[in-house]
Structure 1
């Protein structure tokens, strides 16, 4: 019995370390950052305002940066930076910029700025195209579940 318990604990540690390396963790453990960051920038350096303005994913520039929620956000223009400063909640992605589908299942996984969706003026990110496609098939349920688990 003692060996089984030790084996289970070792397995849990291995899963936790593997998940941490891949950027995946259970939300309940609360080990994730409030905002998904890659290379020290929120949402991998994508300009969150540009999704709303031009309906496209565009990387920001370090010359236009702003710190909010313990993360550095990048913008493609001074105008976008000012818009975000005035109302960050309007432009920041839902569930911290993590993959919305993963959060709906109780985990954090990196959101990818290339795979996104705007619904009711809210920005949602996904980890890849296949996950986005699956999530959009039943998006109301996915976003409701993600919000509930995130809050």
Structure 2
């Protein structure tokens, strides 16, 4: 007694929308909280290029650019152009979550004024106290965060905190 599958009974037009949803579902799950954004806004509206110029400055919503599903604001068209040429250089590490939080296996929000640039990378932190802890052994903290980020990147904030 075997099971026979009759393709004539399956209406492909009815099944395709369901299959499409099933294929998209894992992508949607993976996208959960990969970036620290409120309404897709990265760095709480601060211009990522301005960090590399020495002082973070709030960007202008009229001068914006999307990168990896996050919107970045800029203080000038020049900064926007610099970002668009090399977004990986200017975008914050760990999806814009607190770098020290990632070291602890968590996804924490940031104070955009608590930051560190090391080896050409932007690390944002929860607050000044966390920034101080991050700097105490920055190289080791970066190693640990780099190791943990791939594991926690696809997990929701709620599942980690």
Shorter chain as normaliser: what TM range? Answer: 0.7 to 0.9
Unaligned runs of 5+ in 2: 1-28, 151-161
Alignment of 1:34 with 2:21, yes or no, is no
**What's the TM-score, normalizing by structure 2?**
0.71
Per the normalisation by structure 1, the TM-score is 0.76
Shift in Å at residue 85 of structure 1?
Answer: 0.7
Greater than 3 Å deviation, 4+ residue runs: 29-32
The question of whether the paired residues in 1 share the 8 Å contact of 2:40 and 2:69 is answered with no
- Contact 2:111 2:125 survives alignment (8 Å): yes
Deviation at 1:40, TM superposition (A): 3.8
In the alignment, structure 1 segments of 5+ residues that lack a partner are 1-28
Change (3 A) 1:32 1:147: farther
Matches within 5 A, 1:134-149: 134-149=133-148
Matches within 5 A, 1:1-151: 32-53=32-53, 55-151=54-150
Deviation by residue 1:40-66 (Cα, 9 ceiling, x = unmatched):
41111111101112x111111111101
Verify the 8 A CA contact 2:115 2:124 in the aligned structure 1.
yes
Q: Tell me the matched-pair count.
A: 122
Contact 1:34 1:69 in 2 (8 A): no
Contact 2:59 2:74 in 1 (8 A): yes
1-side partners of 2:40 and 2:93: how far apart? 19
The alpha-carbon deviation at position 38 of structure 1 amounts to: 2.7
